Structure 1
């Protein structure tokens, strides 16, 4: 049962991991401070804020927003921390309200990881304040509790931080405001200019309309995709909709970086020819960009710049959709308040004036939503134009299988920094797909879920078909991993106890990319796991003792990838523990894990496997909106990588991998 707190009231927390959801009437800054027993901050390193959103156990949004989701793991906070304060502040440099007076009371909900609300608090009574300590999570007698505080500060964020003992409170408050203003300027283009109102037209709405269209929800984890970042002014140089001249797609945070002394920058990419401009648009002069450019993000190499550009596109899509959703929520809330005001007086409910007020409220709602939709469509059109330029320029590690780059494929000389494992999209993004990238070497294993997507009717109903698709997805991902490593520097192992994945594994087996046959049966499974766990032990001991030259000469020092099909078929308690050990310890010594499994089929092992599932990145063989981004609260739809029907690109690439490995003596 949810506890509705009032100021000063506390409530116990049932666990150490919680999510704090914030809803406000306008974009606000959300942050968290660590405090000692006396409520004092040690230094500026004890606050999570938009410029530094991470503390041990705490993650906040990078931007001001009307909706936030803060992730808190109290078991991970430093031992000398006794309190975690959750704060809100109004941005000082974005043109929004300067105080909470006249705004709806901010609302807080503390939830568990299952989404069940533990406690709620509405911060009422604010007026001249522009910052507030809303909640306090505190440790008492070895147990964490939450207390409703509601302490406001008329002098803003600086006064709040000074009250917690920070010496340079003003400097840090300025840093936070600058970070919010800079992020706002980058995130989303401003709303389109509106024609001047004619005399007699309904007035007084332009400011509200502009604010609703240019503010968004929280962007929390890039990672969930969660709804939380506010929309904002356009990227540098981008004219408002309806203006003349070409749109400048450059990103303020995607400027070319200056390499350190002694290091030569990579050659700049060729600038693609500008797409035709409308006849009325003036053409840019020499040196002026007339369209999006592949590789215009910071980085020392083209690969790094493209990686960062893809990430920037993800952020931009998250923000613009969050802005749209926030604007629609704003319009809905506003209309509800206006209609409630009309219905509040029973004597005036049925009258021509009430009918006119209702019609006017609905008209304002429609205008706000339409304006937000216009901004959304323009921003997505810009991102689509950028994607059209970036996608063909991606290297093999980041490319889809239909990219022409594979036709001239040769095994690389170095391992890339990241790998594309599929695409992400949102319901509002239309046909726009953003690559989902994971860092290499794999620090987190991959789990291809062969069970039916939870709560989804999408995809095939036949469980055997789902398993077939999951096996094929695992093969495509494994082949991609092998292809982007230098020749002979990734060894592939496959466990297929019942032989159910034989068809899916054919490209790896027939090409020779899989050196040894898939391990079958309980004995083959046990031998493979024993060999890999021994390798992990040997390499760990050698690294810790500084005696890597003492490793056995026959030890395969290449990175390893283990692909497990049909888990837990053929596994017993010993091999399950070995698999967990590889998932936990393998990445530190170059052993990655990919599993094809239905979690429901492993229920017999109980909670002993919960840490294993949590340690893996869950992917699906059919499109599914399961990837939660805590940064902005979006649920992103993941689409698995596919090889075009009838294409021979996969076997051709694998044959080149094997030929290069043999040439290298592997």
Structure 2
């Protein structure tokens, strides 16, 4: 399972022969340093760079490029090497950007030689830095791990190398930049300039290749996981590399975090093709696991020219990507990032205006003469007037950006495929069962207090990497008028709508849903699933039903884990159901004893890696009787609410985003019609 790392996080490496893929959207330099057990680089012979690209166990590209592949063989490193540090830098004297804050956030992925992604990291929060330590592979107690670093250096390569203890840092930095300058004519071209109105890349043509670059495989049809934006979005719109908020984090309860991570993002880039040999460059292959590789489709239509002085009119799919699905996914993440950035700028401007006014008023009040004279009143009025002017200017800029985002949302929403679309989107009326698993799933919408009219779809990657917790208790401002019974009903309705959406976007036979309703209290809300006949079995009731379902799914996790770890996937029992499994648990903890709770925690922790996912409908306050026993369970799930609530925060700027579930419009039969087609497709598939 792909690990989407944040700064400082580490992850074990399952193999020693690896590729490190870099996507930056603009030509950059990639290199690596070898360090001892203390991380110290002993000399220039411990640095792989474009002028000396090969060292024992490491090979780096020979030129600047927008996309890189570095080959690593950890077993081939000399015994004195305990750390491999991957560094990125902007070429000097090339006429290009001089700081990482002016380019898209670089995306880095560690993959196996078969393209399977192990870990990924989007390097955000860079501003004046022109060189950065992206990540490091380090050996601890005989085990190799990868750590996301993201340490930037405004002094460039010389400062970076000096920080690693290299005595000849200044001279080597000059040598590297000279080698890069000689190869710039052959480097991968950067994408065209950003559109001024969107402030993020919207080009869709396939990346150019230099004469020394090759694809590691056939151009993929779809995108990946943590790089879809994970490889698709990049800040200055990380949509081009990885979702910034892969998934938002719980802002009000620090023990509830979401994954992606969405975000973004980040999106697991995997090529699906075995490279013949390490390459020295070439665009990152963003194939979604299991997708067929075909030639990239033609780019989407460009926006018609706008009137002079007016922003360009938005176009659906106007983002980078190999397929329309990927381009729309990246565009949605781009909209999320744009809204986050423009709101952050507005809030910062308002804070500055408040601080400035307070300082000016304090200055007036500190002078006894001005406190009792008309001069003081005039100074106070002038301070308030300057405050109002600054706030008005900030609001004007925010409103201008919101107008553009609303216009973009108006063209993007109708163009979304079913997996990304809301239930009131007409695309559901023409629903057909899919042949492939989509890249992502819409869980609901996100918005901010300053932008009530702009809703951004909340997309998470498929297959799910974390379970879901639908909160059936009181959580915030959105449910003050609902009683506890109504909240429970709304929570289960939300779970049913999400389960129906999952069933609809998976090909027939590739997704199964189980339900545990120990008290039988959810029969009415579960009716759309039971009537359509899309459940794997009738909802389990009572303690015996709970035990039977949990025992069966726990055994499934054990079997698959043993088969995978033993490299004998074909040794699974005959007739074994290879479809992904979703378990909906309603009204927890009713009907659960200690053993059942332990099994539930096991499924939450180990299930997603082998295709068993958990969706709990529960009120945490009611379950508090279990004490700290359940804390690990809550922390492992992504918390959603059946009513609007501002519990999600993105790690970029810390906004508290208001989440709204994607509900079926009142009186609509769209979900029942979709489930009926899902059931019909399943019957045809089983014949």
Q: Same fold (TM over 0.5)?
A: yes
- Deviation track 1:521-550 (CA, whole Å, cap 9, x = no partner) reads 000110001111111111111122222222
Q: CA deviation at 1:347?
A: 3.1
The answer to whether the 8 A contact 1:421-1:477 is kept is yes
Q: CA deviation at 1:339?
A: 2.0
1:112 matched to which residue of 2? none
Instruction: Please tell me whether residue 608 in structure 1 is matched to residue 629 in structure 2.
Output: yes
Mapping of 1:162-181 within 5 angstroms? Answer: 162-163=162-163, 165=165, 167=169
- Deviation track 1:496-521 (CA, whole Å, cap 9, x = no partner) reads 00011101100000011114110000
Instruction: Choose from 258, 264, 272 the match for 2:295.
Output: 264
| Cα distance, 1:408–1:637 mapped onto 2, change above 3 Å | same
Worse-superposed segment, 385-394 or 361-370:
361-370
Q: CA deviation at 1:351?
A: 3.0
The answer to whether the 8 A contact 2:467-2:615 is kept is yes
Instruction: Please tell me whether residue 461 in structure 1 is matched to residue 466 in structure 2.
Output: no
Q: CA deviation at 1:259?
A: 9.2
Worse-superposed segment, 294-303 or 339-348:
339-348
Q: CA deviation at 1:297?
A: 1.4
- Distance across 2 between alignment mates of 1:654 and 1:320: 40
| Cα distance, 1:650–1:38 mapped onto 2, change above 3 Å | closer
Mapping of 1:430-579 within 5 angstroms? Answer: 430-453=452-475, 455-456=476-477, 458-579=479-600
The answer to whether the 8 A contact 2:244-2:337 is kept is no
- Aligned residue pairs total 492
Q: Secondary structure at the match of 2:621?
A: helix
- Distance across 2 between alignment mates of 1:354 and 1:645: 59
Q: CA deviation at 1:348?
A: 3.4
| Cα distance, 1:43–1:37 mapped onto 2, change above 3 Å | closer
TM-score of the pair, normalised by structure 2? 0.63
1:627 matched to which residue of 2? 648
Q: CA deviation at 1:264?
A: 1.1
Instruction: Please tell me whether residue 313 in structure 1 is matched to residue 335 in structure 2.
Output: yes
Instruction: Choose from 388, 391, 399 the match for 1:366.
Output: 388
Instruction: Please tell me whether residue 385 in structure 1 is matched to residue 377 in structure 2.
Output: no
The answer to whether the 8 A contact 1:222-1:630 is kept is no
Q: CA deviation at 1:164?
A: 5.4
Instruction: Choose from 342, 346, 358 the match for 2:364.
Output: 342
- Distance across 1 between alignment mates of 2:473 and 2:462: 27
**Cα RMSD after superposing both structures:** 4.4
| Cα distance, 1:84–1:62 mapped onto 2, change above 3 Å | closer
The answer to whether the 8 A contact 1:220-1:226 is kept is no
2:615 matched to which residue of 1? 594
Q: Secondary structure at the match of 2:633?
A: helix
- Distance across 2 between alignment mates of 1:410 and 1:645: 23
The answer to whether the 8 A contact 2:478-2:643 is kept is no
- Deviation track 1:118-155 (CA, whole Å, cap 9, x = no partner) reads xxxxxxxxxxxxx8xxxxxxxxxxxxxxxxxxxxxxx7
Instruction: Choose from 414, 421, 446 the match for 1:399.
Output: 421
Mapping of 1:42-191 within 5 angstroms? Answer: 45=86, 51=105, 61-64=124-127, 159=159, 162-163=162-163, 165=165, 167=169
- Distance across 2 between alignment mates of 1:426 and 1:379: 14
Q: Secondary structure at the match of 1:664?
A: helix
- Distance across 1 between alignment mates of 2:313 and 2:503: 35
The answer to whether the 8 A contact 1:44-1:172 is kept is no
Q: CA deviation at 1:600?
A: 1.2
The answer to whether the 8 A contact 1:586-1:592 is kept is yes
Q: CA deviation at 1:665?
A: 1.2
The answer to whether the 8 A contact 1:53-1:61 is kept is no
| Cα distance, 1:400–1:189 mapped onto 2, change above 3 Å | closer
Q: Secondary structure at the match of 1:424?
A: strand
Q: Secondary structure at the match of 2:551?
A: helix
Q: CA deviation at 1:186?
A: 8.0
- Distance across 1 between alignment mates of 2:420 and 2:490: 22
Q: CA deviation at 1:357?
A: 2.6
TM-score of the pair, normalised by structure 1? 0.65
Q: Secondary structure at the match of 2:587?
A: strand
Q: CA deviation at 1:572?
A: 0.8
**Gaps spanning 5+ residues in structure 1: where?**
1-15, 18-34, 66-75, 90-130, 132-154, 176-181, 191-214, 228-255
